[in-house]
């Protein structure tokens, strides 16, 4: 257990950040799942619309530091390729 005032503060801050970051990651996962579901459903317009909603959410995650920028780029690229490949 922390004994210094600054260490106790760091524990409080870390707990708060962990909660916020967990919520951010969960939100990103939800948006990606929506795109995945639209792709699986075979509806190209719905998939494109879901992708447009997911894109800024993923970029926000990268900006906040909960996801690496390259990971976000890779995920978006793969999702977009799958949408374009739809008949």
pLDDT tens digit sequence for 68-86: 999 999 999 999 999 999 9
DSSP H or E stretch at residue 53: helix 44-64
CA nearest to 53, candidates 74, 71, 78, 79: 79
Domain boundaries, the chain: 5-84
* Rounded Cα distance, 59 and 68, in Å: 10
| Cα distance between residue 39 and residue 46, in whole Å | 8
Distance, in Å, from the CA atom of 34 to the CA atom of 20, rounded to the nearest integer, reads 21
Coil/strand/helix, residue 22: helix
pTM (two decimals)? 0.86
Superfamily per CATH, domain 5-84: Ribosomal protein S20 (1.20.58.110)
| Model confidence pLDDT, tens digit, residues 9-41 | 999 999 999 999 999 999 999 999 999 999 999
């Amino acid at each position: 257990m922390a004994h210094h005032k600054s260490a106790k503060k760091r524990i409080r801050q870390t707990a708060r950040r962990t909660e916020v970051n967990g919520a951010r990651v969960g939100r990103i996962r939800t948006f990606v799942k929506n795109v995945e579901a639209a792709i699986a459903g075979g509806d190209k317009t719905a998939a494109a619309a879901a992708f447009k909603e997911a894109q800024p959410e993923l970029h926000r995650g990268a900006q906040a530091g909960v996801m690496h920028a390259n990971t976000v780029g890779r995920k978006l690229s793969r999702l977009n390729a799958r949408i374009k490949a739809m008949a």
